A and B are shown apart, each in its own frame.
Chain A
């Protein structure tokens, strides 16, 4: 247990320099863009003298490392600069938008996991039959459709052709968003407002499915491959010789070992899935950081781009650590190394 704790602590420590490097690269890349944040933060009628004064006040007349130092110092105090286009604290904007993105990503991952793990096991179980061939073709087809295409397709089918699910925003027009953490499902549940909860689930269904559909096939294929590998292990043959049924071998013995590489993959996928929220949020009007990022890029709003970029990095690192922790818990071999 102590060993596991030490491994996780080490992982946290390694994350710090990663975050610093990523934040510096992001900062330097944004500063190298041919955009003047000082001029853009002032009204168009600002004079050259006013812009020069603003540039000095923002520290933009100093070297990039010096500017980064100022930004880092401010960031460590929880200040991420003022949005150029919205004239509000960039950190607060990200903090307000983050819960919607996390909620969407988690729901999408649940869908991707359910489809991916279920499909992977099923494909393996039915190996050698025509279902496997059809399944194989199906996963290739699913893999080749990007998430935003799923978003438009699902919107068209379940929103317009067979209008059974809503696809705008987070709840129905007649309902009010309960105040709280910003995690709508949690807030509705804790307020005991089941009308909002039901509405929020209905609104989440299509965007989460669109994101999940794009990631499920990869999980499916990796799990099936892992199961094929595991079935070549001696212990499977021995279990079978003991007279254990095929379903029990698959679900009770093989799956435990085969799921480890799948878990690692899911960790990586979860990071990509956050990236996928960008267009999905714009299409479905989800007020998350993807939506915020698209606006920020359109308006060359550098403080917001920096804050959103950094929050993506923090989330990917956090997920990666959570997956590491899960692998350590599930796999005694990993703990022994």
Chain B
């Protein structure tokens, strides 16, 4: 057999290219690759409140308290706590076997540093706002301390398991400073962060000295894949083992595929219209008509495959503030008659501005357009305006939002203060509603220390706010998750996807 120069060159060329076309496989028995829709803003977990980053932070850091999959508060590095009857103080007892990733023991000094000293040193940290009420943290021993508040803090335990409340190591931050820590963090969680390429990937390695249950997965690679089509392709090609935030239609399509498990999971995130109490919404008839004209079940069917639960109050079903036996009816005839009382009709419509984001959450812009169509049928002419989510607070602060804004609100705790309390408090930046008849009642509930009384108060307020047209809740949001059949994980009602709960087989 003779080999020509040409065939030799061709063979050599193919041999060079061969390694490049090896199929890529993601899974090995103790490793998992996850396609995540967004990166962490930095590795300082106290710095920014980004709901999508919480699951990642929870893998690397510890919060004082935790939540079980049904959102019940449970101990974490703080295993005993007691909120005083007047909610002016809270005693805590920490575990004595918690080690930071550098081997140093976590004590109440770290707790005090995180929630008091650091907050005073760096007032621009997002947790500085959530813990403004802390006046002092009295250390009684390395494991015991008492938090003193300047005013009642009935949701302090909930906040101990919420956004940004992660215990950071005092000795590391004082030694290296916040900017260096934000690049190379030292946590105490079930995983250590070993590699971070911003906007590309995060590599976590199991912390074998973790005080709690050891994760089954040794190495977790989080690939940042912002494009939802690319995330669908990533799971279908087998390049990742689990992903979430897929378009609804793709999640439904994957449900029919035997190789994957795809779930549309309703979570403690709600979609609502934030409304003003002035401009053309000054008239309660118009507000109530606008609410009665929205067919929420149709919106759920059209945009969420029917998985998003229509809401009558601003709280997700099953959370303490929800009112299961209450239903705010879809009633276009009633909407028309309410508008007629105020002198408006289909032929003489009232003009309303409706702000929406485009791409902030799945289907937002289309949802707004569908609502505008529903309103048109009863005599409300909506001018749909697109705004950037980042500008919501600025516009609200300057009273520049239109009558209604399509908004999404995430509350991993499920507590009614963090739903209704924040959404309708005129003094807070989240609320477009500035009317004091509802606002004052809302603000008063911030000082109710007794849990049962507080929850009952929010339930009553929820109904009153909806019936007076101060609140227009729409749907409970759903997240879409798809993973390989052989991989299991624990689903949380607040949408957390925690690597430490994943396992093969």
The chain A residues found within 8 Å of chain B, CB to CB, are: 34-36, 39-45, 48, 51, 85-88, 93, 96-97, 100, 152, 155-156, 159-160, 163-170, 172-174, 176-177, 198, 201-202, 205, 282-288, 291-292, 294-295, 298-300
| Contact (Cβ within 8 A) A155 B388 | no
Nearest to B44 among chain A residues (CB) is A87
Q: 3 closest A-B pairs (Cβ-Cβ)?
A: A287-B200, A173-B221, A287-B199
**Is B467 in the interface zone, CB < 8 Å from A?**
no
Residue of B nearest to A284 (CB): B230
**B240 close to A44 (CB less than 8 A):** no
Among the listed B28, B41, B428, which residue makes an inter-chain contact with A85, where contact means beta carbons less than 8 Å apart? B41
Q: Kindly name the residue among B24, B35, B129, B182 whose own CB sees the greatest number of chain A CB atoms within 10 A.
A: B24
Q: List 15 interface pairs A-B (beta carbons < 8 Å), by A numbering.
A: A43-B128, A45-B428, A87-B48, A155-B230, A163-B237, A166-B24, A168-B240, A169-B201, A173-B223, A176-B194, A198-B20, A284-B230, A285-B200, A287-B197, A288-B199
**Nearest chain B CB to A170 CB, angstrom units:** 6
Contact of A43 among B23, B24, B129 (CB under 8 A): B129
Instruction: Judge if B239 is at the interface, Cβ distance under 8 Å.
Output: yes
Partner of A173, one of B33, B41, B194, B430: B33
Report the bound CA distance from A76 to B476 in whole Å. 50
Q: Which residues of B come within 8 Å of A, CB atoms?
A: 19-24, 26, 28, 31, 33, 35, 41-42, 47-48, 124, 126, 128-129, 179, 182, 194-195, 197-201, 203, 219, 221, 223-227, 229-230, 233-234, 236-240, 388, 390-391, 393-394, 397, 428-430
Tell me, rounded to whole Å, the shortest Cβ–Cβ distance linking A210 to chain B: 12
Q: Given A43-B129, A160-B236, A172-B24, do A87 and B47 touch, yes or no (CB 8 Å)? A: yes
- Contacts A177-B195, A201-B20, A300-B388 given; indicate if A168 touches B225 (C-beta within 8 A): yes
Q: Is the CB of B42 within 8 A of A88?
A: yes
Kindly list 15 other residue pairs between chains A and B, CB separation below 8 angstroms, not including A284-B230, A285-B230, A300-B388.
A40-B390, A88-B42, A88-B182, A93-B198, A159-B234, A160-B233, A168-B223, A168-B234, A173-B223, A174-B31, A176-B194, A198-B20, A285-B201, A285-B226, A295-B199
Beta-carbon contact of B197 and A87 below 8 Å:
no
With contacts A43-B128, A177-B197, A285-B224 taken as known, whether A159 is within 8 angstroms of B42 at the C-beta atoms is no
B199 touches A167 (CB 8 A): no
- A165 contacts across to B, CB distance below 8 A: 20-21, 24
If A88-B42, A198-B20, A201-B20 touch, does A159 touch B390 (CB 8 Å cutoff)?
no
The total of interchain contacts (Cβ-Cβ below 8 angstroms) comes to 147
Contact A170 B200 (CB under 8 A): yes
The distance in angstroms between the C-alpha atoms of A292 and B200, with both chains bound, is 11
How far apart are the CA atoms of A310 and B315 in the complex, in Å? 46
Which residues of the other chain, A, contact B236 by a CB distance below 8 angstroms?
160
> Most chain-B CB neighbours within 10 Å: which of A39, A44, A198?
A44
B42, B203, B239: the one contacting A166 at CB < 8 Å is B239
Q: Among the listed A152, A164, A286, A292, which residue makes an inter-chain contact with B22, where contact means beta carbons less than 8 Å apart?
A: A164
User: Taking A35-B391, A168-B223, A298-B388 as contacts, is the C-beta distance between A159 and B41 under 8 angstroms?
Assistant: no
Neighbouring B residues of A36 by C-beta, 8 Å: 394
CB distance from A35 to the nearest CB of B (A): 6
Contact residues in B for A300 (Cβ distance below 8 Å): 388, 390-391
CB <8 Å contact, B195 and A168: no
Main secondary structure of the interface of A (DSSP, over half): loop
Q: Which residues of A contact B42 (CB under 8 A)?
A: 86-88
Least Cβ distance of B424 to chain A in Å? 16
Q: Which of A168, A201, A292 has the most CB of B within 10 A?
A: A168
A287 to B202, CA, bound (A): 12
Nearest CB on A from B358, distance (A):
11
Cβ contacts under 8 Å, A42 to chain B? 124
Say yes or no: B198 contacts A167, CB within 8 Å. no
Complex Cα gap A298–B428 (Å) = 24
* Contact B227–A282 (Cβ < 8 Å): yes
Q: When the two chains form their complex, are residues B239 and A159 in contact, meaning their CB atoms are under 8 A apart?
A: yes
A209 smallest CB distance to B (angstroms): 12
Contact of B200 among A34, A169, A176, A202 (CB under 8 A): A169
Chain B residues lying within 8 Å of A298, measured Cβ to Cβ, are 388, 390
- Per the bound structure, the CA–CA distance linking A167 and B179 in Å amounts to 32
B233 touches A156 (CB 8 A): yes
- Measured CB to CB, the closest approach of chain A to B233, in angstroms, equals 5
Residue of B nearest to A289 (CB): B199
The minimal Cβ–Cβ distance linking B82 to chain A, given in whole angstroms, is 28
Name the A residues within 8 Å of B226 (CB-CB).
282, 285, 291, 294
CB atoms of B225 and A285 under 8 A apart: yes
Contact yes or no, B23 A163, CB < 8 A: yes
Question: What's the minimum C-beta distance from A106 to chain B, rounded to whole angstroms?
Answer: 18
Residue of A whose beta carbon sits closest to that of B392 = A44
| B19: chain A residues within 8 A (beta carbon) | 198, 202
Question: Distance in Å from the Cβ of B498 to the closest Cβ of chain A?
Answer: 19
Bound Cα distance A294, B199 (Å)? 11
User: Across the interface, which residues of B come within 8 angstroms of A159, CB to CB?
Assistant: 233-234, 237, 239
